[in-house]
Homo-oligomer: A and B are copies of this chain.
Amino acid sequence: MDQKLESYFKAAVSVDNVVFGFDNSGLKVLLIYRGADPYRNCWALPGDLIALDTDLTSSAEKVLQDLTGLEKVYMEQIHTFGKVNRHPYGRVFTVAYFALIKTEDYHVHASSWAEEAAWFPISDIPDLPFDHNEILEYAKNMLKSKIRRQPIGFELLPKYFTLTELQNLYESILETQFDVRNFRKKILSLDYLTDTGMKQSSVTHRPAKLYKFNTKKYNNLVHSGFSVELNFPLFPTENLTV
């Protein structure tokens, strides 16, 4: 019985982070260049085995900070992957998290055994070790469905942003396009954006108004049971193909 019990306690658990960022050229994912075995010398999700004296949630934050220098970012658990042979060193379960960061506010720098850290466009991801491509796919879908229900997109934008930038973000993630007028009407009707009164500068055309996400207003809305789901109007023929 004790023997039996011991046999269960031979697994390791790791955390793999899917870190999304966004800039004008679209949605990005942060990868590190592995400087440690296994799969040394290839690009992978920033992830590592968990020390057994640390809570799971803290571990996710710690792993991210150790490898990329990022801290205090929005993180959420995605899914746990546990195929028998997913890791060459033994039985390793991995808990995947996603993180959203404002690329402008953070400087990413590889550390610990990560030799490099770099942003890859979501549409151009190399072959990754372990089951990391599967994890990434899962994360993309989760982001996609999540952003339709909660305003997490603001975690990816700078503090002040234009409605055009916001629309670009939604279009990138949802891989679709919205009518400009309807998008603005809808997002403004949700009533959690504040017009800062400021405008874009140093652009060579009509400057756009700068908005910010109003957390307080948003929380009030949620607290009073108001729906903050987007349910966006799509372009015609976009959603009904028979």
Taking beta carbons and an 8 Å cutoff, which residues of A are in contact with B?
Answer: 5, 7-13, 49-57, 59, 77, 79-84, 89-91, 93, 95, 224-227, 231, 239-242
Contact = CB atoms under 8 A, between A and B. Distances in A.
Nearest to A226: B240
Interface centre among A51, A84, A231 (most CB of B within 10 A): A84
Nearest to A84: B55
Contact of A224 (B13, B52, B224, B242): B242
A9 B14 CA distance: 10
Nearest to A81: B56
B82 A56 contact: yes
Contacts of A239: 225-227
Contact of A56 (B5, B80, B226, B227): B80
**Secondary structure of the A contact surface, majority rule:** loop
How many copies of this chain?
A: 2
Nearest to A96: B80
A52 to B, nearest CB: 4
A174 to B, nearest CB: 13
Contact of A93 (B53, B56, B91): B56
A56 to B, nearest CB: 3
Contact of A9 (B11, B59, B225, B240): B11
Contacts of A55: 82-84
B80 A80 contact: yes
Contact of A12 (B8, B82, B240, B241): B8
Given A9-B12, A55-B84, 4 more contacts: A8-B49, A8-B50, A13-B93, A52-B91
A53 B84 contact: yes
A5 to B, nearest CB: 7
A39 to B, nearest CB: 15
A56 B95 CA distance: 12
Closest 4 CB pairs of A and B: A56-B82, A8-B12, A8-B49, A80-B80
